[in-house]
Amino acid sequence: MDPLTALGAALAAAHFGTPLAYYAVAKRWLKTPWRVKLDPSYAPAVTVAIPTCNEARHIEEKLEDIYRQDYPRDRLEIIVVDSASSDGTAEKARRWGAAHPDADVKVVEEPQRRGKASALNAALAMARGEVFVVTDADCRWPQRDALRRAVSWLADPGVGAVTCLKKPAADGPAGVETGYRDRYNVLRLAESKKWATSIFHGELAAYRTELLRKIGGFPLDIGADDSHTATQIALMGYRAIAAEDLWCVEAVPRSGYHRWRIRRAQHLLQHFLKTPVEEAPPPMRPILLAEKYLHHANPWLLPAAVAALAAAATPPALALLATGAAALVFRSYRAWTAAQLYLMAAAVKNLRDKELVWEKQDK
């Protein structure tokens, strides 16, 4: 085989082989026990923080969603932090609070939009709960006992943070959203069982309030505020887990899907860039190492492989390229390829603009 064909084949093998190997390892972790002492009756004071920026369409339903929870109402505080919405979000939240005097709803209005993390820090500063829960305005909790389930994992003093698994509300273009989520959830669960997952979800993320305060709150320079705080808590030696019995439905944008995926990839890249593997407790190190590699380095092997094979233009090289293109009929492969493109676009965009304050994609 000529050297260029061999190089292209080797790059392709590494690009696809490493994540497959990691997935195989993760499947083994999935079979191990949790080593967490759950207590479904544990009911500490909880603060639910909802950051909002132009969420008038969603805020009432979101508040209803929390109100419907079977969590003891006298132990539940809701803080809406609105950043200068122009659509009357704060006003709607305040009116909802007045109409539900049995719910403890506080509405904080920031005169200026300084980003989601900054809004969450305002909520954290005044939170009375032992547990601090973050939820996006535009997502739903399909389980009436979502809060109780989340909190029950925190009954174990070794667990510092808990998040949900995600079901997309729509398939996304060419099914790439669902294709991506299936594998993704397996990884989140497997990493959680091993020690901690370094990717958390703003749909429902519950933290021990004191630990959030200890790490200085939500980071102002990293878009993935949810994942980064959870990971910092894991670096302190606590478990940060996606719970197997906790599901959220994630709204998928009707337009601007690609931009949305790229922005979120930008935020994850920022998070992994600032996460030091060597400071992690030993069981967390392989997880962080794999995720950092898969997000930052591995995507680039794909265009390198394609370029080498195209330049070689030998019959085996062309056959490999044709196979790679034909495989796009498979949804998981399509989802994988799309994710690689989003990550590369995100890395480039991060050089110019970190998108820490972003334009909302309509859902």
Q: CA separation (Å) from 117 to 18, 213, 228, 249, 281?
A: 33, 13, 11, 22, 26
Q: Which does 11 bind (CB under 5 to 8 A by kind): ligand GDD, Mn ion, none?
A: none
Closest among 186, 187, 188, 170 to 178, alpha carbons compared: 170
Q: What would you measure as the largest C-alpha separation in the chain, in angstroms?
A: 76
Which of 141, 260, 336, 342 forms a contact with ligand GDD (CB under 6 A)?
Answer: 260
SS (H, E, C) 128-139: CCCEEEECCCCC
Number of residues that bind ligand GDD (CB under 6 A): 26
> With binding defined as CB under 6 A, does residue 217 bind ligand GDD?
no
Shorter beta-carbon distance to ligand GDD: residue 191 or 203: 203
- Select the span of 31-39, 114-122, 279-287, 312-320 touching ligand GDD (CB under 6 A): 114-122
The residue behind tokens 């399909």 is 142
Shorter beta-carbon distance to Mn ion: residue 168 or 303: 168
The residue behind tokens 């495989």 is 327
Interacting positions 331-360 with ligand GDD (CB under 6 A): 357, 360
Shorter beta-carbon distance to ligand GDD: residue 77 or 226: 226
Q: Which does 360 bind (CB under 5 to 8 A by kind): ligand GDD, Mn ion, none?
A: ligand GDD
Interacting positions 14-53 with ligand GDD (CB under 6 A): 51-53
> Sheet of 131-134: strands edge to edge?
104-110, 76-83, 46-52, 131-134, 205-208, 159-168, 239-250
Q: Return the half-sphere exposure (C-beta side, CA atoms, 13 A cut-off) of residue 144.
A: 3
φ, ψ (nearest 5 deg) of residue 46? -120, 135
Binding positions for Mn ion, rule: CB under 5 A? 136, 138
Q: Which does 5 bind (CB under 5 to 8 A by kind): Mn ion, ligand GDD, none?
A: none
Q: Contact residues for ligand GDD (CB under 6 A)?
A: 51-53, 55, 81-83, 113, 115-116, 119, 136-138, 201-202, 223-226, 260, 263-264, 267, 357, 360
